[in-house]
Amino acid sequence: MADQSGARVLLGVRGMDTATSRGRVEEALRSVRGVLRAEASSDRQVAVEYDAAEVTVMDLIRALRRIGFLAGME
């Protein structure tokens, strides 16, 4: 699926407690150029597959901060 620059990260997201907030988090991450997949779970984590040549983990965290969520690597 992803080429050699493909990467995965698991982010913990504070405040992602409802289905609505999980949807907002997924949508925000999927809108970032280079994100291939974002899947949030009910345990306040989101798994992200991304192209490391286009986006960094800090870019993902910043995208979540812009919509009001604090996130960090698990």
The predicted pLDDT at position 35 comes to 98
What is the pTM assigned to this prediction? 0.89
Q: What is the DSSP letter of 68?
A: T
* Domain locations in the chain as residue ranges: 6-73
CATH of 6-73, one of 3.40.50.1580, 3.40.30.10, 3.30.70.100, 3.40.50.11740: 3.30.70.100
Q: Cα 2 from chain centroid?
A: 16
**pLDDT tens, residue by residue, 13-72:** 999 999 999 999 999 999 999 999 999 999 999 999 999 999 999 999 999 999 999 999
Amino acid code (one letter) for 63: A
Provide the sign of the torsion angle of the four alpha carbons 23, 72, 5, 2, taken in this order.
negative
